Amino acid sequence: MVYYGVVSKGCQRCRQRKIKCDQQKPGCTRCHKSGLPCPGYRDLNEVIFRDESSRIIRISRRQEKKQKASVLSGSNPSTARALSPSATNILPVSVRGSADEIGANFFFAKYVFHQDPFSTSSGYQDWLAHAYRQNDRRFAPLRAAIEAAGLAGLSNLGPSPQLSIQSKRQYRDALTAVKDALSNPSHAADDATLMAVILLGLYEMINFDTWDRYHNWTTHIQGATALLDLRGREQFTRERGGQLYVQIRPQILLACMKQRSTVPPALVKATYNFQSSGIREQLHQRETRNPASICEISFRVVNLRAAVKNGTLSQKEILERALDIEADLKTWRQGLPSTWEYTTLDDTAGFDGKRHVYHNLSMAKVWNNWRTLCILVGRIMVQNEAYEVDPKLLTLRWMHDLMAEVCISASSFAEDAFALSLVQPLHIVAIQKLAPIHTRKFAVDKLRNIGLSTGVRIAVLLANDVAESLEDHCVDGQGFVEWVQG
């Protein structure tokens, strides 16, 4: 996706007449005074950032013919098996001088959010594109990280060994540049430095084809957490700081979930500073965040899972805390304004013949976050020896409904950055052994499709891990009731 610079925000008629438009909604004042219906405003996301992946692929194919090279020569057999056949043979062995640009194009097309709080109107995309184009040393880590992530994802779709080599080279350059920035007191707390570290974590997820890479990913998450602490309260005096916090927070919590560890103090402190800042209020005014933040509940779920693992609580204490969290999750749901509601429509292509229509994908993402938290808490409850049979059955049925909703929501997400937000919810659904088998299979298939369409290998790895044992550990229909009743 290529950045095409600043463009007119006016309506179509004012742009054609080349006059200033006041951009009033639902229609501009000039059209109203002329007695003409205002044609409305175009989506700036589609104008400022244009997906050039198809054009780049066509150019690459022409280069491939000239070079008479095969993309599959020297490719890793295991990688070729992991990727779909339709994704092969689309890139040349070498794209030489244009490789970095291709990587950046792919990054902006697949891995950048284009809705609030990261929309064009927020200035986030302008900043990211501007930062990428700078030759200033302080932007070197971010530029290299963007190219490394984009080239890695694109090489996974090929596969292209040469692009893979180039992505690793850019990754090493990004690591070196980040180390230089961290050693410079005037650059260590820069937005570009934190964003570069976030993208180094993304690079690891893109290449996450074995669990040997887990340590690399967590190292970058820990680095980003330390930078949040270093940046302090000052980072929330500007919107960019809030955007970067919102972007890295789910990754930090995901790492805690995987490790069954408590929320790090640095994130707790940063969250307090964010929630008490004016930036959070700006996000609320744009209706990009729920009125009652679910973040605090997320922290409690993470900490409860850590307590269960460490054995620091009795079964009764665990159940009491889980019930309190469940009640707060339901209260959060009941307190949502009408603007946050979604519509369920019939759709033969969707899960169970349904699909959701959300106001925007940022809201859909939060909805799935809520569903995931409910499922995790429900799982703790149904596994608790102190939980009575009848309420346990009700919780299981509620979990089944939530897991179905996660699957239904999947059709709302395109093959871009928002699709990556489905990876954790779908994996949570896929590993629930008491879920209906068709629900788990759908989640596994969707995970694999996300990985194959975005080049993010961790989605394929998670899908394959679950698929291996899916048939042996499924409970369907009446089975889960019989399991509960013993």
Q: Could you report the per-residue pLDDT of 356-366, keeping only the tens digit for each?
A: 999 988 889 99
Distance from C-alpha of 309 to C-alpha of 58, rounded to nearest angstrom: 52
Mean pLDDT of 87-107: 60
Quickly state the pLDDT bin for 449 (edges 50, 70, 90): very high
CB 203 within 8 A of CB 148: yes
Interior CA angle at 212 toward 377 and 158, to 5°? 100
Considering the domain 2-42, what is its CATH architecture?
Irregular (4.10)
The pLDDT of residue 465:
94
CA–CA dist 170, 176 (Å, integer):
10
Predicted confidence band at 355 (pLDDT cuts at 50, 70, 90)?
A: very high
pLDDT, tens only, 270-296: 999 999 988 887 766 655 455 557 999
Q: Give the three-state DSSP class for 219.
A: helix
Of 33-37, 70-74, 115-119, the one with minimum mean pLDDT is 70-74
Query: Are 392 and 380 spatial neighbours (Cβ–Cβ below 8 Å)?
Result: no
Distance of CA 316 to the CA centre of its chain: 35
User: Computed from CA positions of residues 205, 298, 382, 308, in that sequence, does the dihedral angle turn out positive or negative?
Assistant: positive
* Cα–Cα distance, 91 to 76 (Å, whole number): 15
Q: Which of 250, 238, 254, 339 is nearest to 295 (CA)?
A: 250
Closest CA to 173 of 153, 138, 145: 145
The percentage of residues in the chain with a pLDDT greater than 70, rounded to a whole number, is: 79
The whole-number pLDDT of residue 117 equals 65
Contact 368, 406 (CB under 8 A): yes
- Alpha-carbon gap, residue 445 to 65, rounded angstroms: 35
* Residue 360 CB burial class (10 angstroms; 0-12, 13-18, ≥19): middle
Q: Domain spans of the chain?
A: 2-42, 71-278, 290-486
- Residue 90: the pLDDT is 31
* DSSP, res 166: H
Provide the token pair at 85. Answer: 């056949």
* Six token digits for residue 470: 């899916």
Is 21:30 a contact under the CB 8 Å cutoff? yes
Mean pLDDT (the chain) is 83
**C-beta neighbour count of 472 within 10 angstroms:** 7
Give the residue, 479 or 210, on which the prediction is more confident.
210
